[in-house]
Amino acid sequence: MNFDEIIERRGTHSSKWDKMQEYSGVSPDDGIPMWVADMDFRPPQAVIDAVRKYADHGIFGYFGDDRAYLDSIKWWARTRHGYEIAEDEAIFSTHGLVNGAALAMHTWTKPGDGVILFTPVYHAFHRIIEAAGREIVQLELVQHNGRYEMDFDAYESQMTGREKMIIFCSPHNPGGRVWSAEEQKALAAFAEKHDLIVVSDEIHCDIVLPGHKHVPFSVAAPEARARTVMMMAPTKTFNLAGMHNGNVIVDDPALREAFGQTMAGLGLSPNAFAKHMVPAVYSPEGAQWVDELCAYIGGNVEVFDAGLAGIPGVTSMPLEGTYLAWVDFSGTGMDRDEMMRRIADEAKIAVNQGPAFGHGGESWNRFNLATPRSRVEEAVERLQKAFSDLQ
């Protein structure tokens, strides 16, 4: 796969490119979009072929026979992550994983209940909790040796008894942590102590950088099965986000019944495109493509971090997983207006601004590195120039 290829995305209804001006004031004519978490790469050829074959047939009726679809999901979870999904019935396909998290919240919490987030964390979680009238309980991650950790002792004093659920992000967006099995066991113990459902959003599980290994929550803490809701999807991994497909995997039969009722009550089922696309990527060809992708992202991270290391006061958190770099500008002493004037107006880079991720994100910004290397090099040069008075 040639990840260096520049593919024109402007004028293709791309949120990342065609909405950047509106969102950040950066023109797509000469700006670099490093915000929305999708990639500027084509997916594996097998999925393009599958969609083409379906389109060429030209009939888009109701899909039947989930066998290949379900088998491919189980095969991927087992071979890539050592996660054995024993029964087909455990797999619920949702309209993506933001939808999956929202469905879980509606199943196991009611308005006024607390939903815990380890912040800073993916902004859409904040949005859905608030919109559903639940209370966001922000437990802030702590920095240890420059990376995020959970501090369960410190969190005890923040618990009110109203909390019913944790939405856990693993690997962590935006901090890039690939959580160890021990950390997840501690999370399971905390959840048990406070009787919380754990929704483990593992949408970034396949994008793990060399030297790190993703451990699914259900593998790390099987003892928490009766309170565990797993979520995985091929969409981040293979750049298929517009497909809006994800899997909520509920291994516990009692939890499964409750979640199934929510799904049935809303009449939810996946569209036929997903049924054609997923087996094409959860395949040996897909696996090889992801290995190449992770190596390429690793190279982009090196270029980005080396470039930023030359700017005093700007620090990139060491990335273990995801393609999203999390960068702290606090050392520059600048307020957000000045920092953003330099990033958006001078460097012409569209980023996700840190405060949207909740407590702890105030002085940070998130940069999407899933783009051809030449663009990462250009972004680094522009940032160095925009902050050149500090060097």
Ligand X SMILES: Cc1ncc(COP(=O)(O)O)c(C=O)c1O
Which residues in this chain contact ligand X in the complex, by CB under 6 A? 37, 96-99, 122, 169, 173, 201, 203, 233, 235, 241, 246
Q: Please report how close the Cβ of residue 37 comes to ligand X at its closest, in angstroms.
A: 4
Q: Decide whether 234 or 279 has the Cβ nearer to ligand X.
A: 234
CB of 266 closer than 8 Å to CB of 108: no
Q: Decide whether 117 or 220 has the Cβ nearer to ligand X.
A: 117
Tokens representing 252 are: 């516990």
Q: Please report how close the Cβ of residue 241 comes to ligand X at its closest, in angstroms.
A: 5
Q: Please report how close the Cβ of residue 123 comes to ligand X at its closest, in angstroms.
A: 9
Q: Please report how close the Cβ of residue 198 comes to ligand X at its closest, in angstroms.
A: 14
Q: Please report how close the Cβ of residue 354 comes to ligand X at its closest, in angstroms.
A: 15
Helices 45-57 + 272-281 axis angle, to 10: 150
Q: Among 242, 141, 246, which residue's Cα sits nearest to residue 203? A: 246
Q: Decide whether 15 or 363 has the Cβ nearer to ligand X.
A: 15
Residue 101's beta-bridge partner residues?
none
Q: Decide whether 90 or 97 has the Cβ nearer to ligand X.
A: 97
Q: Decide whether 282 or 387 has the Cβ nearer to ligand X.
A: 282
Q: Please report how close the Cβ of residue 96 comes to ligand X at its closest, in angstroms.
A: 3
Residue 32's beta-bridge partner residues?
349
Residue 116's beta-bridge partner residues?
137, 166
Q: Please report how close the Cβ of residue 390 comes to ligand X at its closest, in angstroms.
A: 31
Q: How many CB atoms lie within 10 A of CB 354?
A: 24
Q: Decide whether 99 or 138 has the Cβ nearer to ligand X.
A: 99
Q: Please report how close the Cβ of residue 233 comes to ligand X at its closest, in angstroms.
A: 5
Tokens representing 139 are: 């437990």
Residue whose C-beta lies closest to ligand X: 96
Q: Decide whether 235 or 307 has the Cβ nearer to ligand X.
A: 235
Which regions of the chain does DSSP assign to beta strands (E)? 32-33, 91-94, 114-119, 135-140, 142-144, 147-149, 163-169, 197-201, 228-232, 246-249, 315-316, 324-328, 349-350, 352-353, 364-368
- Give the whole-angstrom CA distance, residue 204 versus residue 158: 28
Helices 253-266 + 97-108 axis angle, to 10: 110
Q: Decide whether 148 or 387 has the Cβ nearer to ligand X.
A: 148
Tokens representing 230 are: 């797993």
Tokens representing 36 are: 């929305």
